[in-house]
Chain A
Amino acid sequence: EIQLVESGGGLVQPGGSLRLSCAASGFIFNSFAMGWVRQAPGKGLEWVSCISGGGGSTYSADSMEGRFTISRDNSKNTLFLEMNSLRDDDTAVYYCARMDGTDAYRDGFDVWGRGTVVTVSS
């Protein structure tokens, strides 16, 4: 069974940092690009970042560029999102999702995790 399980969410103060993880199982991890998508309270889905299967190419939404860093450890089948300089409007459920291809180019998201909650508040 293909599974994505996120962890690492929690309560953090504005300006703080968090590192999210996503443990993948049930498929050949390095054959697929991966991404993060978030959903703020009462809002729709928003793309955050994605990374190619080999990890050599990464892309992020402009509002997160320079603050959020996506990475992966293919030896441990794990995806990461390092989040720095967190703001109130980063409060959201963060979903890990598999992309339907290797290059993170014109690939949709075909498998999603249940998400981890990040709350930025003083």
Chain B
Amino acid sequence: EIVMTQSPATLSVSPGERASLSCRASQSVSSFLAWYQHKPGQAPRLLFYGASTRATGIPARFSGSGSGTEFTLTISSLQSEDFAVYYCHQYIDRPLTFGGGTKVEIK
């Protein structure tokens, strides 16, 4: 099983600041990596697939990078609607696995 490890668990950021979220895979997942945003009571929302391809409707302030075992999700200037939990997800191999999540909270 490929273990996905996200850091930090919680990130306290002020609106307008930059946030960088890390995701590490226990073995290479190439670029078969997705990022999701999840708010309480809502459906998770796809942000990126293929590690760096932005999903439809995702603002340009979000960017995804990396390949192999190291990945980063960057939010260039946090808006109020961006405070949420973010998950990375590998889909190169079954069992499909997710990271434990990074909660981005208001500082």
Contacts and interface: CB of A to CB of B under 8 A. Distances in A.
Nearest to A108: B34
B89 A108 contact: yes
A114 B98 contact: no
Interface residues of B, number: 24
A44 B98 contact: yes
Nearest to B99: A44
Interface stretch (B20-28, B42-50, B69-77): B42-50
The bracket for how many chain A residues form the interface is 20 to 34
Interface string B50-90: 00000100000000000000000000000000000001010
B87 A95 contact: no
A112 B44 contact: yes
B96 interface: yes
Contacts, number: 56
A14 interface: no
* A contacts with B: majority SS: strand
Contacts of B89: 45, 108-109
Interface in A103-122: 106-115
Contacts of B91: 106-108
Contacts of A45: 36, 38, 44, 87, 89, 98, 101
Nearest to A96: B43
Contacts of A50: 96
9 contacts: A37-B98, A106-B92, A108-B46, A109-B34, A109-B46, A110-B55, A111-B46, A112-B43, A112-B46
Given A47-B97, A59-B94, A109-B44, 15 more contacts: A4-B43, A35-B96, A37-B98, A45-B44, A45-B87, A45-B89, A45-B101, A106-B91, A108-B34, A108-B91, A109-B89, A111-B46, A112-B44, A114-B41, A114-B42
